[in-house]
Amino acid sequence: MKILILNGPNLNLLGKREPEIYGTKTFEEYFEEMKTAFPAVDLVYFQSNHEGALIDKIHEVGFSYDGIVFNAGGYTHTSVALADAVSGVTTRVVEVHISNIMEREAFRHHSYLTPVCVAHFIGHGLPGYNSAVDYLIQK
Ligand SMILES: O=C1C[C@@](O)(C(=O)O)C[C@@H](O)[C@@H]1O
pLDDT tier, 8 (very low <50, low <70, confident <90, very high otherwise): very high
As a dihedral over the C-alpha atoms of residue 73, residue 122, residue 30, residue 81, rounded to 10 degrees, the angle is: -30
Q: Is 74 in the pocket of ligand 1 (CB under 6 A)?
A: yes
Binding site as annotated, residues: 71, 77, 84, 98-99, 108
Query: pLDDT of 9-58, one tens digit each?
Result: 999 999 999 999 999 999 999 999 999 999 999 999 999 999 999 999 99
Distance 116 CA to ligand 1 centre (A): 18
Distance 71 CA to ligand 1 centre (A): 7
Complete DSSP assignment for 51-63: HHHHHHHHHHHTT
Query: pLDDT of 86-138, one tens digit each?
Result: 999 999 999 999 999 999 999 999 999 999 999 999 999 999 999 999 999 99
Taking the domain 2-138, which CATH number applies? 3.40.50.9100
Q: Are 7 and 31 in contact (CB under 8 A)?
A: no
For 116, phi then psi, to 5°, come to -105, 0
So what's the pLDDT on residue 105? 97
Pocket test for ligand 1, best of 11, 82, 98, 101 (most atoms within 8 A of CB): 101
- For the chain, the structural domain boundaries read 2-138
Ligand 1 atom index nearest CA of 21: 8
pTM of the model: 0.98
Ligand 1, atom 4, lies closest to the CA of 73
